[in-house]
């Protein structure tokens, strides 16, 4: 990965920070994007001299466009763009408000949409590049009632990613769009959910951000279209649909 330049949004903590550290260990140059300058700078330091931090709020299309320009100015090109920004929400579907839905779509879908659209012209110029969107197992099996809107937003992201792939590869086959679907990860995700929520670190069936980061780094090398972060994930999804009496 010595010549690979990778942009990671939501990189000041959790999966984004762990992915930045793993990818930098493998030799990549990493552009780390987040809103919190102090936390971001700490991750940049841990990643070493080939890391570059950009303080930006990627819920703004203009900010995302600025990240693209700064990354290219700094390194000359971008090879991989990882859309990692996301937020949970703790509320059953019968109680969701307009504001709840608008906010979760703004954070979980529009940030990724902006990233894909704004980096695409650069990728098309080179007929090369990869977008990695961090989705969720809950997009495949919406089995947690209080995560209804989160599950829906990640399902939207899955469909958006697949259709970007179909559209773009029809004319630019060198560009890949990949999905990675973690389950419960021991990060601040639960604590930071809208309306509060259970701490993700308290769940027994969880994995570390570092484990997810290894899967993401491997995905940069394999360029597969769709991966899970845990062994047996596909079987769990099939069982979910069997249990509710539906076809998987």
Catalytic (active-site) positions: 150
User: Whole-angstrom Cα distance, residue 36 to residue 38?
Assistant: 6
Q: Which two tokens stand for residue 46?
A: 């841990």
Beta strands in the chain (DSSP E): 5-9, 29-34, 51-55, 80-83, 129-134, 175-181, 226-228
Count of beta carbons in the 10 Å neighbourhood of residue 122: 17
DSSP calls for 63-101: HHHHHHHHHHHHHS--SEEEE-----B---GGG--HHHH
Under DSSP, the state recorded for 244 is T
């Amino acid at each position: 990965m010595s010549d690979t330049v990778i942009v990671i949004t939501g990189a000041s903590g959790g999966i984004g920070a762990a992915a930045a550290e793993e990818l930098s260990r493998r030799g990549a140059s990493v552009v780390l994007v987040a809103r919190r300058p102090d936390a971001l700078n700490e991750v940049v330091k841990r990643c070493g001299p080939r890391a570059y931090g950009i303080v930006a709020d990627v819920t703004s299309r203009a900010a995302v466009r600025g990240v693209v320009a700064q990354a290219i100015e700094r390194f000359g090109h971008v090879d991989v763009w990882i859309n990692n920004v996301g937020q949970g929400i703790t509320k059953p579907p019968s109680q969701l408000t307009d504001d709840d839905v608008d906010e979760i779509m703004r954070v979980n879908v529009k940030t990724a949409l902006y990233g894909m659209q704004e980096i695409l012209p650069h990728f098309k110029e080179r007929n090369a590049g990869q977008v990695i969107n961090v989705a969720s197992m809950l997009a495949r099996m919406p089995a947690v009632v209080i995560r209804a809107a989160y599950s829906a937003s990640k399902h939207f992201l899955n469909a958006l990613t697949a259709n970007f792939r179909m559209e773009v590869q029809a004319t630019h086959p060198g560009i890949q769009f990949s999905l990675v679907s973690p389950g419960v990860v021991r990060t601040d995700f639960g604590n930071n959910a809208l309306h509060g929520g259970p701490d993700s670190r308290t769940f027994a069936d969880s994995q570390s951000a570092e484990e997810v980061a290894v899967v993401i780094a491997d995905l940069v090398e394999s360029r597969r279209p769709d991966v899970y972060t845990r062994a047996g994930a596909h079987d769990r999804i099939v069982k979910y649909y069997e249990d509710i009496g539906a076809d998987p």
